[in-house]
Amino acid sequence: MKDVRVVYRKYGGALHWHHAGRLLGEDSHGVWVEVPSGTVARKGTDPPITWPTAVTMLFPRDGWWTASFNHLPNRTEIYVDVTTIPEWRDDEVTMLDLDLDVIRMRDGRLILDDEDEFALHQVLLDYPPDLIIRAQRTADWLMNAVGKRKGPFNGAHLAWLSKATQT
């Protein structure tokens, strides 16, 4: 498998979460990346942390989001970041994190997280009006798609999970 770098930035370019991954492949939903348990990640320049559980990530070709499908025993089943469209350059995927997150817990609860951070950053980071509207519309769409298990949120990751665990 090919190694890749996953780099999230904040609006304005500040480094956010970044870590290594392994390219699994592509399908109609986008590009799939494995992030094994034990991966070391950093939030900006904060001290590194080690993730205890594996994650299978999906980077859509034209969606304003990225998805993390958390492996057991993580209590969060799916964590979707509202972002700009992921861009690939060589072995790196990067995007701007737009604060809002849609989370589906394993018990079925659906959460729209970080609305307060999104409101704060609209002012603090001077989000343009079209970016605010796009992020809000994406969050609404994701709440529906993740909640109703539509598209890639209806088990599409399982085939990639089995591929990741076979290698």
Indicate the pLDDT class of residue 165, thresholds 50, 70 and 90. Answer: low
Question: What are 26's strand-pairing partners?
Answer: 31
The model's pTM is: 0.95
Question: In the structure, what pLDDT confidence band is assigned to residue 163 with cuts at 50, 70 and 90?
Answer: confident
Label residues 15-43 b or e (16+ Cβ within 10 Å = b).
Answer: ebbbbebbbbeeeebbbbbbbeeebebee
Condensed to tens digits (0 to 9), the pLDDT of residues 67-102 reads: 999 999 999 999 999 999 999 999 999 999 999 999
Mean pLDDT in residue range 102-126: 97
Evaluate if residue 164 carries a pLDDT over 80. no
What integer is the mean pLDDT of 19-46? 96
* pLDDT above 80: residue 155: yes
Judge whether 7 and 94 are in contact, CB under 8 Å: yes
Question: What would the mean pLDDT of 51-64 be, rounded to a whole number?
Answer: 96
**Is the confidence at residue 11, as pLDDT, over 70?**
yes
DSSP string, 42-75: EETTSPPEE-SS-EEEEE-SS-SEEEEEEPTT-S
Report whether pLDDT(136) > 80: yes
Residue written as token pair 């589906």: 104
Neighbours of 122 (CB within 10 A): 18
pLDDT over 80 (residue 5) = yes
Residue 69 · residue 56 · CB < 8 Å? yes
Per the listing, tokens 């320049």 go with 45
Residue 69: both structure tokens together: 């499908």
pLDDT average, residue stretch 95-121: 97
Does 166 score more than 60 pLDDT?
A: no
DSSP-derived secondary structure letter, 141: H
Nearest to 69 by CA among 166, 149, 167: 149
pLDDT of residue 1: 77
Identify the band that residue 167 occupies on the pLDDT scale cut at 50, 70 and 90: very low
